Amino acid sequence: MSARAARETKKKSIKEQEKTFEEMWANPMKKPYLEKVVLNIGVGAGGEELERAATVLQTISGKTPVKTLSKKNIKEFNLRIGRPIGTMVTVREQEAEKLLKRLFVVNNDKMLRKSFDNYGNFGFGITEHITIPGVEYDNVIGIWGLDVVGRIVRPGMRVKFRRKSRAKVPKHHYVSRVEAQYFLKKKFGVEIVDKLDLDYI
């Protein structure tokens, strides 16, 4: 098979897959949605650095971040269990969608294909927070990098996490890697690529 024929076959296969997703999403219990977006900055220690990182997340999200605590004792890094080492904030529903649209702009609305798993989770990093639209540089705070993690689910996933009468969720009810990629492509106009070539002005 020639390279051209292989590309045409792959393109046809993708179109058929997308058609399958559209038919499946006609069922309201199968239609996926963005559950949440989590922003995280690892500092490694508490004090003023941690407060500055928390200010960055609050500026980006408009929400009050919380501290993340160490779960291990690591002598080499001077870490003890329960010691603050970072900060994170969770944004949900429509606010999460608006935030994610701003964050995708940093990478020119592109995402790496390897940034997805088979459970509806995806993530990417931002090297400099001042590249996010609407965020200005502050010489007191400096420049920070952060991790962005999102989760795409279907209705009914609450049964796995609720306090009472928890139940297992069958594997077919999770959002697969390919389906999550198509969801972001359709919902946010994201292009899925194998390599990011970013041109910063």
CATH number at residue 61: 3.30.1440.10
Q: What is the pLDDT of residue 11?
A: 60
Q: Is residue 50 part of a domain?
A: yes
Q: Is residue 17 part of a domain?
A: no
**pTM for this predicted structure:** 0.85
* Closest C-alpha among 35, 163, 185, 51 to residue 109: 185
Q: Is residue 5 part of a domain?
A: no
Provide the 10 A C-beta neighbour count for residue 129: 22
Q: Is residue 10 part of a domain?
A: no
Distance CA 20, CA 22 (A): 5
Distance CA 130, CA 141 (A): 11
Q: What is the pLDDT of residue 26?
A: 95
pLDDT at 17 over 90: no
Q: Is residue 167 part of a domain?
A: yes
Return the percent helix, strand and coil in the chain, to nearest 5: 40, 25, 40
Task: Name the H helices within the chain.
Answer: 3-24, 48-61, 93-106, 177-188
* pLDDT tens-digit series, residues 21-75: 999 999 999 999 999 999 999 987 778 889 999 999 999 999 999 998 888 777 7
Q: Which residues contact 109 (CB under 8 A, 6 or more apart)?
A: 188, 189, 190, 191
Q: Is residue 199 part of a domain?
A: no
Q: Is residue 92 part of a domain?
A: yes
Q: What is the pLDDT of residue 67?
A: 92
Q: How many domains does the chain have?
A: 1
> What residues make up the domain containing 88?
30-193
pLDDT at 3 over 90: no
Strands 146-153 and 33-42, bridge-based pairing? antiparallel
Q: Is residue 22 part of a domain?
A: no
* pLDDT tens-digit series, residues 80-134: 787 888 999 999 989 999 999 999 999 999 999 999 999 999 999 999 999 999 9
